[in-house]
Amino acid sequence: MNIIFNFLSILLNSIFNFTGDWGLAIVLLTVSVRLVLSPMSFKQKKSMQQQQKFAIKMQELKEKYKNNKDKLDVELKKQSVQSAKSMMGCLVTLLQLPILMTMWSVFNKIPVSVGTYLIPWVSSIKLSDSYYVIPLIYMIVSLAPSLLSYVTLLKIEGQATISKSNIIIMAVVGVLVAKAAPIALGIYLITTSVFSFLEELVFRIYMRNVKTEKQ
């Protein structure tokens, strides 16, 4: 973790020396890291989608062969093998977490207390936003990926739609987290949420095109 922390700290300082603004440096570093992690994230999304399809398939098999236990066991074993292979793709999340957690620590430990052109109404990125602008922006962009499941053209077969009650809970938690966090972390949260939204949008368009080609 120390190696990752030192590398990201050096990279952040290098970007700052180029831009002259800590807020912009945070945005550029966040986007750069997320771009590097995108292939893993994309693979994870595909694996999760396959897992959902396997769950539906297994339920269908249980219903189809409910009166034929031997046949059901054979079919379930076949699905279990395929499901296990797909599950490996979901484990890539574990590779991303240390990097993203370290970035949080890097931004939280920026050694100076200055403002940023991105958020002109605050005097220091080490302070929280007393006007609640950052928390509200974060709430909106963090919910955006979940709301895509309600768009008919972007729905993915077999994927459950997040309930409205869960969306409300996520919104409240998002505001509380962003309100307690300093501006530096708020910028990071907003940037990574916008990236997640675009990543989810691209994935859904990709899955829709794949489905169209198969038809």
Residue by residue, pLDDT tens for the chain (215 residues) are 688 889 999 999 999 999 999 999 999 999 999 998 888 888 888 777 777 777 777 777 777 777 777 777 776 676 666 555 555 555 556 667 788 788 888 988 888 888 899 999 988 998 888 888 999 999 899 888 888 877 777 777 656 667 778 878 888 888 888 888 899 999 999 999 999 999 989 988 888 887 676 65
Distance CA 200, CA 41 (A): 10
- Structure tokens of 57? 């398939």
Q: What is the pLDDT of residue 214?
A: 64
Determine the angle formed by the axes of helices 164-180 and 133-147, rounding to 10 degrees.
Answer: 150
- Give, in order, the Cα–Cα distances in Å from 21 to each of 5, 15, 16, 34, 124: 20, 9, 6, 20, 12
Q: What is the pLDDT of residue 116?
A: 93
pLDDT digits (tens, 9 = 90+) for 96-106: 778 878 888 89
Q: What is the pLDDT of residue 190?
A: 94
How far is residue 203 CA from its own chain's centroid?
Answer: 12
Range 64-78 burial, b when 16+ CB lie within 10 A, else e: ebeeeeeebeebbee
User: What is the largest distance, in Å, between two alpha-carbon atoms of the chain?
Assistant: 71
Q: What is the pLDDT of residue 25?
A: 95
Determine the angle formed by the axes of helices 183-214 and 22-64, rounding to 10 degrees.
Answer: 40
Q: What are phi and psi of 119, to 5 degrees?
A: -130, 80
- How many beta carbons lie within 10 A of that of residue 36, not counting itself? 11
- Structure tokens of 184? 């530096």
Residues 134, 190 contacting (CB under 8 angstroms): yes
Q: Look up the pTM and report it.
A: 0.82
Specify the DSSP class assigned to residue 153.
G
Where are the domains positioned within the chain? 2-214
Residues 129, 179 contacting (CB under 8 angstroms): yes
